[in-house]
Amino acid sequence: MLLTLPNILTPDEIQGATALLARAPWTDGRASAGPQAAQVKNNLQLPHDCEAAQQIRALVLRGLDRSTTFFSAALPKRVFTPRINCYGGDANYYGNHIDNAIRALPNGQKVRTDVSCTVFLNDPADYDGGELTIADTYGEQAVKLPAGHAVLYPGTSLHQVKPVTRGQRIACFFWVESMVRSDEQRRLLFELDMNLLRLRQQHGEGDETTALTGVYHNLLRMWADT
């Protein structure tokens, strides 16, 4: 399932992130890539423990906590520590790749990368190119969103960031280990949850919505690993 999430960050949060990025100490992004990915990766990243990375990471995590749609779609069990990258100039692309299945947190805990997420930190008008292209069931999808918007997609997807030919593309990226490993099952649960929400908005609570809510939770109980 490929899903866009509008307004994960507020305008004030985007402005705060922009101020932090103005003095950010960028380093070679290949340092965090595996041997295969490093051959097609050419971008910059913020050091994990620098002030800008820590504060922007906190902004993004707070934004995700506010988003009921993010929770419904990803059903997060663990979130890998968000990172910030930049494409532009000579470090301007990331070729086709599939992300590592397992990532290690700083404390050594492992995170399975069921769901990938990118939160855009600057607007498309700031740069040319830089589309995140994701190969899914319906072909290749190109994603280029306003600042503060996010995209979720399966971690199993072949994807790339197209070359940036003008300006800089800056984003926050991370992975989610979901309580429900299967993308197909997560999609069914998300569609059921969203349609239940619409039914309640249109018709209020009733016997049917109560019964369907039970179906949702019984499926989640069947499929979830907490």
- Predicted confidence at residue 14, as pLDDT, reads 98
* Cα radius of gyration rounded to whole Å, the chain: 18
- Cα–Cα distance between 14 and 60 in angstroms, integer? 10
Supply the pLDDT for residue 36.
72
Q: Are 95 and 200 part of one and the same domain?
A: no
Residue 6's pLDDT is what?
Answer: 97
Beta bridge partners of 4: 151
Whether residue 124 contacts residue 85, with contact meaning beta carbons closer than 8 Å, is answered with: no
Residues 159, 107 share a domain: yes
Structure tokens at 122: 């600057």
Coil, strand, or helix at residue 37? helix
Output the pTM of the full model: 0.94
> Could you tell me if 193 and 171 lie in one domain?
no
Q: 98: buried, middle or exposed (CB in 10 Å: 19+, 13-18, 0-12)?
A: middle
- CATH number reported for the structural domain that contains residue 138 in this entry: 2.60.120.620
| Average confidence (pLDDT) per 10 residues, the chain, 226 residues | 97 97 92 76 94 97 98 97 96 93 91 98 97 89 97 96 97 98 97 96 93 97 96
pLDDT at 136: 80
Alpha-carbon distances, residue 133 vs 94, 114, 185 (angstroms): 10, 18, 23
pLDDT of residue 38: 76
Residues 34 and 130 grouped into a single domain: yes
* Residue positions counted in the chain: 226
Q: Residue 35: its pLDDT value, please?
A: 74
pLDDT of 200: 94
* Residue range of the domain that includes 187: 183-223
137 with 212, same domain?
A: no
- The answer to whether residues 69 and 172 belong to one domain is yes
